[in-house]
Amino acid sequence: MVSELINANPIVYEKKERRARSAPSDYSDEYAAEPIDQQEVFDHVRDIKDPEHPYSLEELKVITEDAIEVDDVQSYVRVTFTPTVEHCSMATIIGLCLRVKLLRSLPSRYKVDIRVAPGSHASEASVNKQLNDKERVAAALENPNLVDMVDECLAPSYG
Amino acid sequence: MELYEGGCELKLLETLAGHSDRVWSLAWNPATVAAGTPLVFASCSGDKTVRIWENTPSHSASWTCKAVLEDTHTRTVRSCAWSPSGKLLATASFDATTAIWENVGGDYECVSTLEGHENEVKSVSWNASGTLLATCGRDKSVWIWEVQPGNEFECVSVLQGHTQDVKMVQWHPSTDVLFSCSYDNTIKVWAGDDDDWQCVQTLGEPNSGHSSTVWALSFNAGGDKMVTCSDDLTLKIWETDNIQMHSGDGYAPWRHLCTLTGYHDRSIFSVHWSSEDIIASGAADDAIRFFVENRDGLVDGPTYKLLLKKEKAHDMDINSIQWSPGEKRLLASASDDGTIKIWELASL
């Protein structure tokens, strides 16, 4: 167990204001599924708690709305996150949290890619490869300790 | 009957539900065809079970689940393989064990449990004569086990060499040469006998190898060609000199023949070379693709072309695709959507 936090003094940013979704004015389309957009995906992940600090990924600017690419027609999402420090060993945990939250929140037709922002991490290629290896992710999620950690980070994001 | 581009279709015969989690892999029992008995295959899942499916004799498009092998593996069952005689089924699990099952009058009993891997076992394969078993896993090692009387298995070699997670092992169809593919982007070839096994070749980027994780490999019937599939979105065809392979040396080097690029948009998890030389691939874009050798055109050496692409074959990633043994162009696919689909590749 590491006694010191990886990043003891993170910079905390103000949260972006939450825009209310406007109701569709066309009532005949009441049952039509609304296309999933950048804001919706951001809403799913913004409140995920950082594994080390009592702040959300949004507050630490680990994830921003602009760093989410969505193509609803292609059922594709790519999330780019920026760890707070270059050697952050929590990067894979954060990536796993993002993946699990989106797995639980998006329709199963969605293909999700998660990556660290280019240049933001010392082991960028290695972290990205792990996060996008479905088999490795599946095995990790069978580890109860890891699942507990992930669930703890995800708890505030279900509001 | 010759298949040509635009002249065939992939017909869905049946969708099999039953597993309560993603289906990772499936394997056809090789013995049922020769015996004239109905086709059987096994599937394994994230739900920790293995299911045995049988074709009902009266209705060729109907499949039933004959057995559920449960309460043995404590985690995902990742891969399964029948012995050449069809009497034993080996199942590899994330719980770090490989279980051996025997069909005793319709009931499947776990007759042996192979332990030793440090963590998730990802693949298991029997050699052509059924005398050797190979396993591999995230601990980067490849294990060779000797099959002994009374369903005993003795580990004869633990092979180190891969620098990362080993995704699949596969014995050559006619010689005791073992192939493994890995998260380290390479394919390794292992040869030897008794307890003395070595890596005799590594197919990596310097040999025109893959640039990302290699998920699977498959041999043609003759064993002189092999296809590999990867996270780098390509299929690669490799060949060897068969005469040299079957001579006293028992091993001949493999060389890159061609790369199929631009056909897949997401990771290719499975590839299988049929007895009629049709290569089937299953990928993370939910599609099944078929490739055949390209006999037209004036190119040096064989190239391959896309015969057919079936989009949305499943609702989610396809993890495994396997041609059935026997005459008909039947194949089965397994998916993250929890189902298995049985298909027939038919001429229009």
DSSP secondary structure letter of residue B294: E
Give pLDDT, residue B249: 61
Task: Write the burial class of residue B149 (CB in 10 Å: 0-12 exposed, 13-18 middle, 19+ buried).
Answer: exposed
Which H/E stretch holds residue B40?
strand B40-45
Specify the residue for token string 């709305």.
Answer: A65
Which H/E stretch holds residue B345?
strand B340-347
pLDDT-wise least confident of A48-52, B23-27, B31-35: B31-35
Q: What is the mean pLDDT of residues B65-69?
A: 96
Interface of A with B in 128-157 (CB under 8 A): 129, 132-136, 138-139, 142
pLDDT digits (tens, 9 = 90+) for A86-145: 777 799 999 999 999 999 999 999 999 999 999 998 899 999 999 999 999 999 999 999
Check if the beta carbon of residue B77 is closer than 8 Å to that of residue B44: yes
A58: left (phi over 0), alpha (psi -120 to 50) or beta: alpha
Give B316's contacts in chain A (Cβ within 8 Å): 108-109
Check if the beta carbon of residue B257 is closer than 8 Å to that of residue B225: yes
Residue B348 CB partners (closer than 8 Å, separation 6+): B6, B7, B8, B9
pLDDT digits (tens, 9 = 90+) for B324-347: 998 889 999 999 999 999 999 999
Give pLDDT, residue B251: 77
Give pLDDT, residue A9: 78
Give pLDDT, residue B2: 67
Which H/E stretch holds residue B168?
strand B166-171
Residue B151: pLDDT above 50? yes
- Does A12 touch chain B if contact means CB atoms closer than 8 Å? no
- Does B285 touch chain A if contact means CB atoms closer than 8 Å? yes
CB neighbour burial string for B294-318, b if at least 16 within 10 angstroms, e if fewer: eeeeeeeeebbbebbbbeebbebbb
Q: What is the mean pLDDT of residues B16-33?
A: 94
Give pLDDT, residue B290: 98
Beta-carbon separation of A139 and B213 below 8 A: no
- Does A109 touch chain B if contact means CB atoms closer than 8 Å? yes
List Cα–Cα distances, A143 to A21, A22, A126, B24, B94, in angstroms: 37, 41, 21, 18, 10
Residue A104 within a domain: yes
Give pLDDT, residue A31: 60
List Cα–Cα distances, B125 to A122, B279, B337, in angstroms: 38, 20, 25
Q: How confident is the model at residue A8 (pLDDT cuts 50, 70, 90)?
A: confident
Amino acid of residue A90? M
Reported as half-sphere exposure (CB side, CA atoms, 13 A), residue A32 has a value of 9
Position with higher pLDDT, B57 vs B187: B187
Alpha helices in chain B (DSSP H): 31-35, 242-246
- Does B265 touch chain A if contact means CB atoms closer than 8 Å? no
Mean pLDDT of chain B: 94
Q: What is the mean pLDDT of residues B163-185?
A: 97
Q: Which tokens hold the place of B201? A: 């070749």
Give pLDDT, residue B245: 72
Q: How confident is the model at residue B135 (pLDDT cuts 50, 70, 90)?
A: very high
Beta-carbon separation of A142 and B316 below 8 A: no
Check if the beta carbon of residue B238 is closer than 8 Å to that of residue B304: no
Q: What is the mean pLDDT of residues B8-18?
A: 96
pLDDT-wise least confident of A141-155, B93-107, B287-301: B287-301
DSSP A5-35: -SSSS---PPPPPPPPPPPPS-GGGTTSPPP
pLDDT digits (tens, 9 = 90+) for B174-184: 999 999 999 99
Q: Which tokens hold the place of A83? A: 């760890």
Residue A127 within a domain: yes
- Does B75 touch chain A if contact means CB atoms closer than 8 Å? yes
Residue A32 within a domain: no
pTM (two decimals):
0.93
Residue A51 within a domain: yes
Residue-number span of the structural domain to which A90 is assigned: 38-153
Give pLDDT, residue A6: 76
Question: Looking at chain A, which residue has its C-alpha nearest residue B47?
Answer: A142
Specify the residue for token string 């593996």.
Answer: B73
Residue A1: pLDDT above 50? no
Tell me the ipTM for this assembly.
0.95
Q: What is the mean pLDDT of residues B202-209?
A: 95
Q: How confident is the model at residue A2 (pLDDT cuts 50, 70, 90)?
A: very low
d(CA B220, CA B239): 10
Give pLDDT, residue B298: 65
pLDDT digits (tens, 9 = 90+) for A21-52: 655 555 555 566 789 999 999 999 999 999 98
pLDDT-wise least confident of A134-148, B18-32, B34-48, B158-172: B34-48
Q: Which tokens hold the place of A4? A: 């010191």
Q: Which tokens hold the place of B29? A: 């029992």
Whichever domain contains A82, its CATH number is 3.30.300.130
Check if the beta carbon of residue B340 is closer than 8 Å to that of residue B332: yes
pLDDT digits (tens, 9 = 90+) for B225-282: 999 999 999 999 999 987 777 776 667 899 999 999 999 999 999 999 999 999 999 9
Residue A27 within a domain: no
The torsion angles phi and psi of B25, rounded to 5 degrees, stand at -155, 155
Reported as half-sphere exposure (CB side, CA atoms, 13 A), residue B327 has a value of 4
Task: Write the burial class of residue B105 (CB in 10 Å: 0-12 exposed, 13-18 middle, 19+ buried).
Answer: exposed
Give pLDDT, residue A23: 55
Residue B15: pLDDT above 60? yes
Task: Count up the domains in chain A and report the number.
Answer: 1
Beta-carbon separation of B317 and A108 below 8 A: no
The torsion angles phi and psi of A42, rounded to 5 degrees, stand at -60, -40
Cα angle value B342/B344/B345 (rounded, 5°) = 140
Q: What is the mean pLDDT of residues B90-113?
A: 96
Residue A82 within a domain: yes
Give pLDDT, residue A7: 77
Residue A138 within a domain: yes
Check if the beta carbon of residue A49 is closer than 8 Å to that of residue A101: no
DSSP B58-115: T-TT-EEEEEEE-SS-SS-EEEEEE-TTSSEEEEEETTS-EEEEEEETTEEEEEEEE-
d(CA B27, CA B39): 11
- Does B118 touch chain A if contact means CB atoms closer than 8 Å? no
Q: Which tokens hold the place of B218? A: 């498959």
Residue A30 within a domain: no
Residue B121 CB partners (closer than 8 Å, separation 6+): B78, B79, B92, B93, B94, B96, B97, B98, B135, B136, B137
Position with higher pLDDT, A50 vs A20: A50
Measuring CA to CA, which residue among B114, B122, B75 is closest to residue A143?
Answer: B75
